[in-house]
């Protein structure tokens, strides 16, 4: 799937569902928030700077605020429709149509980077691009990163030709090269795992 195909798929879903996790190709708010709950275990604190990579409608910003963790939030997404809607919802947030490599933030410039679901698309050389994204996130952070991926041990996810799944042990090996201070969380959904990694 090309980037243009991903954008068009989301544009179609947005026209169909509007501001709803279904437009992001999530099954619902409950599952979305369950994933956010795992990301927040990175121990982000009030006032920390945060870059949400593939932010969609910036719902993570809303979730953290509801949890009494207001942050210096910045969100990027490649789907312009999402960013336009997110700006209307959260006018004080820094939001832009962008990807991590085009934005190219300075190393050690943002406290935390988070990514939820943005690497779940079947694309050419998906493993290598995911690894590069994780490495870029870690280089950019001052404190840590948190991201989730679909688990290829799950039969339903791995049988879908439109979803990219990942080998948990392989992803762990990527992170081990960056830091020894990390945690894998895989007990909240059958088809998903979250990885938290901190600067040492």
Structural domains in the chain, CATH included, are 28-198 (3.40.50.150)
Q: Work out the end-to-end distance of the chain between its first and last CA atoms, rounded to an integer number of angstroms.
A: 36
- Supply the pTM of this predicted model: 0.90
pLDDT tens digit sequence for 148-188 = 999 987 676 666 777 788 999 999 999 999 999 999 999 99
Sign of CA dihedral 93, 42, 196, 105: positive
Position 123 scores a pLDDT of: 74
- Looking at per-residue confidence, does 121 or 131 come out higher? 131
How far apart CA 69 and CA 45 sit, in angstroms, is 6
Nearest to 111 by CA among 23, 51, 188: 51
Distance CA 123, CA 35 (A): 23
Higher pLDDT, 1 or 84: 84
| Bridge partners, residue 76, by sequence | 53, 96
pLDDT band at 126 (very low <50, low <70, confident <90, very high): confident
- Give the residue-averaged pLDDT of 75-89: 95
Mean pLDDT of the chain: 89
What would the mean pLDDT of 26-38 be, rounded to a whole number?
86
State yes or no: pLDDT of 62 exceeds 80. Answer: yes
Q: How far apart are CA 197 and CA 70, in angstroms?
A: 21
Structure tokens, 48? 């920390």
Sign of CA dihedral 70, 100, 35, 80: positive
Flag whether pLDDT at 26 surpasses 60: no
Task: Report the percentage of the chain scoring pLDDT > 70.
Answer: 84
Decide if pLDDT at 33 tops 80.
yes
**At 14, is the pLDDT very low, low, confident or very high (cuts 50, 70, 90)?**
low
- pLDDT tens profile 100-124: 999 999 999 999 999 999 998 777 7
Q: What is the pLDDT of residue 163?
A: 77
Residue 180 pLDDT: 97
Please answer whether residues 55 and 36 qualify as being in contact, where contact means their C-beta atoms are separated by less than 8 angstroms. no
Query: What's the pLDDT score for residue 104?
Result: 96
Which range among 13-17, 36-40, 161-165 shows the weakest confidence by mean pLDDT?
13-17
């Amino acid at each position: 799937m090309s980037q243009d195909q991903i954008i068009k798929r989301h544009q179609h879903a947005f026209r169909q569902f509007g501001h709803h996790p279904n437009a992001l190709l999530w099954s619902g708010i409950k599952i979305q928030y369950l994933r956010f709950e795992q990301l927040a275990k990175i121990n982000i604190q009030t006032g920390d700077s945060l870059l949400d990579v593939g932010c969609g409608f910036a719902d993570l910003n809303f979730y953290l605020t509801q949890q009494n963790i207001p942050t210096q939030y910045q969100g990027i997404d490649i789907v312009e429709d999402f960013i336009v809607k997110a700006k209307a919802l959260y006018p004080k947030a820094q939001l832009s149509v962008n990807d991590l490599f085009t934005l190219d933030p300075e190393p050690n410039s943002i406290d935390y980077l988070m990514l939820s679901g943005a690497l779940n698309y079947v694309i050419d050389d998906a493993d290598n691009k995911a690894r590069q994204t994780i490495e870029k996130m870690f280089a950019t952070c001052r404190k840590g990163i948190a991201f989730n991926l679909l688990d290829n041990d799950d039969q339903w996810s791995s049988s879908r030709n439109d979803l990219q799944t990942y080998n948990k042990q392989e992803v762990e090996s990527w992170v081990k090269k960056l830091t020894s201070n990390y945690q894998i969380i895989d007990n909240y959904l059958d088809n998903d795992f979250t990885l938290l990694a901190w600067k040492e």
